[in-house]
């Protein structure tokens, strides 16, 4: 922790992130909106609907592709469904590799193979999703009760029936919940891919900024922001329902609904008694009745399948070009190999160091902002439920803002450079870390806090002596996870002028120097592996 704090402070000094920079940035913001933006020009509704539909279609198909492959890899990586140690090691290695390769580089390769349509974005976002979903699904399979699968195994059922009859149904809520979370991430990442030709809202924003049309770019950024926040709220609500959480107070209107429902609920009628009465009316039937719950589940599944079909149709996938792309793999591979430093190795390594500094500084700043926000969002620490709800809603809104949109707004206000990118990452880190800190505090043992309070300790003493000590290990683990996320994100923010190695990555792609792209990829890969090793070490020390 001392090394992390020292590294964060050193990075802030090197990047010149200080009060003077913020004051100058505020002054530039006033001038910018007065002189350069003018009257905002909102896009025409038909054009906006077309771009939005294309973006959502790509993101939905990419998330579905990533989830399907991740389930297969999760089954191969879990010890209770994959008896072969070599298979488990190979599956987990593939997951780590997919997490280490940025979706931007994947998209560059797939555009060379399959053209600049939706296919490249679907494959890039889908394969990058494996890095997160594959790990989560494997952990969910290993943590799930293996009794039903062993029961089928002892009854002579083949392995396929064990998996589809017991394992997958048991983790289906986790599959859908993590898939919804990944949908949010892919939605924000799709904006970044617009800078290299992916169709949709990201491409429209890139074109507007490329010609300096800020009066068109700002409305597009606000529209993307609204879509991301709406997706975050909707997916969070669905995840809460799927995971069976009984305290839905993270969203104010849902919390109010449950309060009213509980207040007017008939006395003496509980969920358990309803289930018993329903079961007693079933008699000898072996299939579930068509009650409201089953009808809603079938309707939701039908709606989801319809969305997939519409998305596949709207994406206009050129299947001929898709299969022809596989035949061009040897030629495209020759363009990317062997790697070359472009005769500027010192510049590239200095830019990579800047990227790491941006991640360190943003994580430290995000943690400083997240600790008080997360503490006030925890229901067992906040002075009253309304305060906790206000901070929970603040977290939801902050998490829904894409770092790229923040970086663009700060860049056009403060100028190009790493200061804008670092501040954008810091605000994004505050959103995620605040949620994780609040959840960690709420999961502490309340009896310890009550014991110290009974002894005469004040609220602040209880918080420091009991709550912080219990939540510290999980919070530190979340902190290093956020550092990993921020360094990856800093790599991508460079494409919009936020500093770091991403700027050179985009330039190498524009001038078709794909050997330099490979060289930068290997540099990023080394950093990611080092971070992965540090994260594994920290998790072992904190257990």
Report DSSP letters for 278-343, one per residue.
HHHTTTT--S----HHHHHHHHHHHHHHHHHHHHHHHTT--HHHHHHHHHTHHHHHHHH-S---TT
Positive/negative CA dihedral, 304, 305, 306, 307: positive
CB-CB neighbours of 2 under 10 Å: 6
Q: What is the dihedral of CA 479, 481, 487, 489, to 10 degrees?
A: -110
Nearest C-alpha neighbor of 219 from the set 47, 41, 51: 41
| Superfamily for the 47-149+157-245 domain | MetI-like (1.10.3720.10)
Report domain extents, the chain: 1-38+341-543, 47-149+157-245
Positive/negative CA dihedral, 146, 147, 148, 153: positive
Residues found in the chain:
543
Please determine whether the domains at 1-38+341-543 and 47-149+157-245 fall in the same fold group of CATH.
yes
Helix (H, G, I), strand (E, B) or coil at 199: coil
Nearest C-alpha neighbor of 71 from the set 150, 143, 139, 165: 139
| Superfamily for the 1-38+341-543 domain | MetI-like (1.10.3720.10)
pTM of the predicted structure, to 2 decimals:
0.76
Nearest C-alpha neighbor of 166 from the set 185, 193, 147: 147
The Cα-based distances of 296 to 20, 241, 290, 333 in angstroms read 56, 13, 10, 48
Residue 439 Cα to chain centre, angstroms: 17
* pLDDT (tens digit per residue) in 74-115: 999 888 888 888 998 899 889 888 887 888 888 888 888 887
Per-residue pLDDT of the chain (543 residues; tens, 9 = 90+): 888 889 889 988 888 887 776 676 666 666 666 666 667 788 888 888 988 899 999 999 999 999 999 999 999 988 888 888 899 889 988 988 888 788 888 888 888 888 777 888 899 999 999 988 888 888 888 877 778 888 888 888 888 888 888 888 888 888 888 888 888 888 888 888 887 778 888 888 888 877 777 778 788 888 888 888 888 777 777 766 665 544 433 444 444 444 444 444 444 444 444 444 444 454 555 666 777 777 877 887 888 889 899 988 888 787 887 888 888 888 888 888 888 888 888 888 988 898 889 989 999 998 898 888 888 888 777 788 888 888 888 887 777 777 777 777 777 777 677 888 888 888 888 888 888 888 778 777 778 877 888 888 777 787 777 777 887 777 777 787 788 888 888 887 777 777 778 888 888 888 878 888 888 888 888 887 887 777 777 767 766
Q: What angle do CA 98, 102, 103 make, to 5 degrees?
A: 90
112, 324 Cβ separation under 8 angstroms = no
Nearest C-alpha neighbor of 525 from the set 66, 127, 98, 120: 98
Nearest C-alpha neighbor of 125 from the set 100, 97, 108, 106: 106
């Amino acid at each position: 922790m001392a090394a992390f704090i020292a590294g964060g402070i050193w990075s802030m000094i090197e990047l010149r992130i200080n009060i003077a920079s913020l004051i100058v940035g505020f002054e530039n913001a006033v001038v910018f909106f007065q002189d350069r933006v003018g009257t905002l020009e909102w896009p025409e509704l038909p054009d906006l609907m077309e771009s939005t539909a294309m973006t959502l279609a790509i993101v939905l198909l990419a998330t579905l592709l990533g989830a399907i492959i991740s389930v297969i890899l999760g089954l191969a990586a879990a010890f209770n469904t994959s008896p072969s140690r070599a298979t488990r090691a190979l599956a987990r290695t593939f997951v780590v590799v997919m997490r280490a390769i940025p979706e931007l580089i994947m998209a560059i390769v797939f555009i060379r193979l399959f053209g600049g349509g939706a296919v490249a974005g679907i494959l890039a976002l889908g394969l990058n999703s494996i890095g997160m979903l594959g790990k989560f699904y494997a952990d969910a399979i290993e943590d799930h009760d293996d009794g039903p699968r062993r029961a089928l195994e002892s009854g002579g059922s083949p392995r396929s029936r064990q998996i589809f009859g017991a394992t997958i149904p048991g983790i289906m809520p986790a599959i859908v919940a993590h898939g919804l979370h990944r949908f949010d991430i892919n939605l924000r990442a799709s904006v970044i891919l617009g800078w290299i030709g992916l169709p949709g809202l990201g491409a429209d924003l890139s074109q507007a900024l490329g010609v300096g049309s800020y009066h068109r770019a700002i409305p597009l950024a606000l529209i993307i922001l609204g879509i991301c926040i709406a997706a975050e709220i909707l997916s969070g609500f669905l995840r809460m329902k799927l995971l069976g959480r009984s305290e839905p107070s993270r969203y104010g209107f849902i919390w109010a609904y449950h309060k009213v429902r509980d207040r007017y609920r008939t006395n003496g009628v509980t969920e358990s008694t309803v289930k018993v009465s329903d079961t007693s009316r079933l008699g000898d039937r072996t299939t579930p009745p068509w009650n409201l719950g089953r009808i809603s589940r079938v309707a939701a599944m039908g709606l989801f399948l319809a969305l997939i079909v519409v998305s596949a149709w709207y994406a206009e996938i050129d299947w001929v070009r898709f299969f022809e792309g596989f035949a061009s793999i040897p030629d495209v591979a020759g363009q990317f190999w062997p790697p070359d430093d472009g005769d500027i190795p010192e510049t590239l390594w200095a830019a990579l160091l800047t990227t790491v500094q941006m991640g360190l500084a943003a994580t430290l700043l995000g943690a400083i902002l997240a600790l008080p926000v997360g503490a006030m969002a925890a229901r067992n620490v906040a002075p009253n439920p309304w305060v906790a709800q206000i901070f929970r809603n603040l977290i939801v809104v902050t998490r829904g803002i894409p770092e790229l949109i923040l970086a663009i707004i700060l860049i056009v206000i403060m100028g190009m450079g790493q200061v804008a990118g670092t501040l954008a990452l810091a605000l994004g880190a505050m959103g995620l870390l605040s949620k994780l800190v609040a959840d960690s505090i709420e999961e502490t043992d309340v009896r310890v806090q009550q014991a110290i309070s009974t002894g005469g300790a004040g609220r602040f003493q209880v918080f420091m002596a009991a709550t912080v000590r219990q939540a510290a290990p999980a919070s530190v683990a979340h902190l290093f996870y956020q550092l990993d996320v921020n360094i990856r994100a800093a790599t991508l923010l460079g494409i919009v002028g936020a500093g770091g190695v991403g700027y050179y990555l985009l330039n190498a792609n524009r001038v078709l120097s794909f050997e330099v792209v490979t060289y930068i990829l290997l540099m990023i890969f080394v950093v990611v592996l080092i971070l992965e090793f540090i994260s594994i070490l920290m998790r072992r020390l904190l257990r």
